[in-house]
Amino acid sequence: MRPILELPRLSMKERDRRYAAVRTQMAARGLDAIVLWGWPMMWDFYTANSRYLSQIGGNAEFNVLIFPAVGEATSIIQLPTFLDGWRAAQDWVTDIRPRAKTWAHSVASRIKELKLERGKIGMDGLAGPLDPDGWLPRDVYQGLLDLLPGANLVALDDMLEKVRAVKSDEELGVLRKAAQLGDLMLATCRDTARVGVKECEVYASMMHAMVGNGGEEPTLFLWNCDRHPYPHPFRVPTVRPMDSRDLIICEMHPKFGGYFTHVERTFCLGEPDKEQLRIYDGCLAAYQCGLDNFGPGKPISTALMAVKDVIDERGLAICEAGIHGHGLASLEYPRFRHHALAADQQAVKVIGDRFETGMVFAFNIDLVDPRWHGGKTGCVFAETIEITATGARRMHTYPTEFQRLAG
Per-residue HEC secondary structure of 326-379 comes to CCCCCCEEEEEEHHHHHHHHHHHHHHCCECCCCEEEEEEEEEECCCCHHHCCEE
For the chain, the structural domain boundaries read: 12-164, 169-405
Q: Cα–Cα distance between 67 and 121 in angstroms, integer?
A: 10
Does 147 or 372 have the greater pLDDT score?
A: 147
Over the stretch 312-347, which tens digit does the pLDDT of each residue have? Answer: 999 999 999 999 999 999 989 999 999 888 888 878
Digit-coded pLDDT (tens) for 26-52: 999 999 999 999 998 878 989 999 999
Radius of gyration of the chain (CA): 22
Q: Which residues contact 178 (CB under 8 A, 6 or more apart)?
A: 215, 254, 255, 256, 257, 259, 260, 261, 384
pLDDT band at 235 (very low <50, low <70, confident <90, very high): confident
User: For residue 231, what pLDDT band results from cuts at 50, 70 and 90?
Assistant: confident
Identify the pLDDT of residue 6: 64
The candidate with the shortest Cα–Cα distance to 358, out of 381, 327, 337, is: 327
Evaluate if residue 154 carries a pLDDT over 60: yes
pLDDT at 3: 44
SS3 155: strand
pLDDT 10s digits, 92-106: 999 999 999 999 999
Residue 248: name the closest of 263, 227, 274 by CA.
Answer: 227
Amino acid at 246: D
192-222 pLDDT, tens per residue?
Answer: 999 999 999 999 999 999 999 999 987 889 9
DSSP-based three-state secondary structure for 128: coil
CA distance 124 to 199: 40
What pLDDT is recorded for position 370? 93
CA angle 80, 85, 90 (to 5 degrees): 120
Q: Give CA–CA dist 264/326, Å, rounded.
A: 14
Tell me which of 3.40.50.150, 3.90.230.10, 3.40.50.880, 3.40.190.10 is the CATH number of domain 169-405: 3.90.230.10
**pLDDT tens-digit map of 250-273:** 999 999 999 999 999 999 999 999
Q: Would you list the DSSP string of 199-211?
A: HHHHHHHHHHHHH
Average pLDDT over residues 150-176: 96
Q: Closest Cα to residue 328, out of 10, 11, 5, 99?
A: 10
**CA 193/CA 265 separation, integer angstroms:** 13
5 has a pLDDT exceeding 60: no
pLDDT value at residue 384: 98
Phi and psi at residue 364, to the nearest 5°: -115, 140
CATH 3.20.20.20 fits 12-164, yes or no: no
In the structure, what pLDDT confidence band is assigned to residue 132 with cuts at 50, 70 and 90?
confident
